[in-house]
Amino acid sequence: MPVFLYLVLLVLGLHCTSCKNSEGKATTCYYPPKNGTLYKMSSINADFAFNLYRSFTVENPQRNIFFSPVSISAALAMLSLGACSSTQTQILESLGFNLTDTPTSEIQQGFQYLMCSLNFPKKELELQMGNSLFIGKQLKPLAKFLNEVKRFYETEVFSTDFSNISAAQQEINSHVEKQTKGNVVDLIQDLQPNTVMILVNYIHFKAQWANPFDPSKTEEDYSFLVDKTTTVQVPMMHLMEQYYHLVDTELNCTVLQMDYSKNALALFVLPKDGQMEWVEGAMSSKTLKKWNRLLQKGWIDLFVPKFSISATYDLRSTLLKMGIQDAFDDNADFPELTEDNGLKLSNAAHKAVLHIGEKGTEAVSIPEVRFLDHPEITLLHPIIQFDSSFLLLILEKSTKSILFLGKVVNPTEV
C-alpha cells in the first residue's frame, strides 16, 4: 500500500505603505560558490513561470490567475533532492533545466543562493521565504536528506504523529497560521489516512511603494471592463508621477513599472482590446529582458484599481501535464529521502493572496504620509488606465526572481 506525501505551497503577498524588516527567528545562510547555472536561474525560472501561467489559463479561462512561481520552483527543486532516476529527471526538466549539460549539484546550489538572497534582511522590504517538512514518526528519513534540505532551503523539519489526523492537522495549521502572520488559517482539512509527509512552502512579502497614492484622490466607483458585456465598479487610485513605461507595438500592450522603495518592483501589463491571448502566448524571459531594455521614465497620469486577489490551485493535474508524472505514480522513486519504500506524491496545493492599495491592509500601522501637488505639470502627459484585464508581475531586483505572477480579469472577485 503506498504512503502519501503532500506538497503544500502557501503565498501571502501584502502590499502596504509601511513595513518593518523581516521578522522570525534568525537563520544562518551560507552562500555557495557561484556557478554557471546561477547566472541562468532567473531566465529558467521565468520561463517555467510563464509555462505554468499558460497551463492555469487553460484550466481557468476568463478567471483571475495569481500564484508565486519562485515558491513552486523552489519546493519542487527541494523535493527532487530525495528523488532518483526518472522521478528526479522529470521534476528538474519540467522546471526547465537541461540535465545533459547541467549537474544537479549546480541546480541545488543555485536554489541555495536564491533562498539566501531572498531571505537576506532588507530595510523597508519584508520578504521571507521558507519551507517546513512534517514527517511521520514512523518514517525513517535519511540524515543526508535532512541535512541538505536545511542547508539548501533553510527547511524546518517536524516529527508528526499522522495516526492522529485531527492533531496532525491542528499542528500543521497552527504552524502555517504563525508563518503567514495569521492570514492563512485552517489550510489542511482532509488529510488522507496513509499520509507520512507534508511539505509546506510559504512566502511572506510586504513592501512600500516608492510613490504612494493619496487616498483622497481614490475614486470609489470606477468602471472596470471585465468583458465586452460586463462592467464592475472598483475603487480606482490616481497619481500623476514619473514612471518607467513603454508601448510594445509588437505585442500590442502598454507596460508600466511601479517601484517599491527597496529592491522590488511591479510590472503592470495592459494589452490592447482583444490582444490578451496574444500577449499571454508571447510572455517569456526574453520578453522581460526586452522590456527592461526599452522602459523609459516619464510623467504619467496613472489610474490603478485598489483590489485584493487570491487563488487556490490543486497542482497535481497541472504538474502531470507538464511532465512530472512518476512522482505521483506507485513506482515513484524517492530513495534519497527515506529508507521506507512506497513513498509517492499524493497532492500539490498552492494558495496565494495579494492586496494592493494606497496604504496597504488595515492590520498594518501606517505613518502619516504627505502628498505634494505638482502645479508645474501640464495635463498633456500620457494617461494610463488599468480599467480592463491586465497582467501583474512582482519581481525581486537582486535575483530578478518573479515572486508573483497573475492576471486580473475581475478585481472584485475574491
pLDDT digits (tens, 9 = 90+) for 8-21: 665 544 333 222 33
pLDDT at 155: 85
pLDDT at 123: 66
Paired strand residues for 254: 247, 270
Long-range contacts of 360-365 (CB under 8 A, 24+ apart): 360/14, 360/15, 360/16, 360/17, 360/18, 360/19, 360/206, 361/14, 361/16, 364/14, 364/16, 364/17, 364/18, 364/19, 364/206, 365/18
Q: Any idea which of 110-124, 227-241, 253-267 has the lowest mean pLDDT?
A: 110-124
CA-CA distance, 374 to 214, in Å (whole number)? 13
Domain chopping of the chain, boundaries = 3-208+309-354, 215-303+378-408
CA-CA distance, 162 to 69, in Å (whole number)? 29
The pLDDT of residue 219 is above 90: yes
The pLDDT of residue 70 is above 70: yes
> Grid cell 532588507 — which residue?
122
Handedness of CA 403, 409, 412, 413 (dihedral sign): negative
Highest-confidence segment of 147-161, 183-197, 364-378? 147-161
pLDDT at 26: 44
pLDDT at 262: 79
Q: Any idea which of 302-306, 330-334, 351-355, 401-405 has the lowest mean pLDDT?
A: 351-355
52 close to 217: Cβ distance less than 8 angstroms: no
pLDDT at 2: 53
CA-CA distance, 253 to 122, in Å (whole number)? 33
The pLDDT of residue 361 is above 70: no
pLDDT category at 7 given cuts 50, 70, 90 is low
pLDDT at 314: 82
Q: For the residues 230-255, what does the mean pLDDT come to?
A: 96
CA-CA distance, 350 to 180, in Å (whole number)? 14
Q: What angle do CA 184, 191, 76 make, to 5 degrees?
A: 70
The pLDDT of residue 295 is above 50: yes
The pLDDT of residue 160 is above 70: yes
pLDDT at 310: 83
Highest-confidence segment of 129-138, 225-234, 261-270? 225-234
CA-CA distance, 414 to 360, in Å (whole number)? 16
For the chain, give the mean pLDDT. Answer: 84
CATH architecture, domain defined by 3-208+309-354:
2-Layer Sandwich (3.30)
Higher-confidence residue of 213 and 189: namely 213
pLDDT at 268: 97
Domain 215-303+378-408 fold? Alpha-1-antitrypsin; domain 1 (2.30.39)
Handedness of CA 252, 242, 239, 69 (dihedral sign): positive
Q: Strand, coil or helix: what is 348?
A: strand
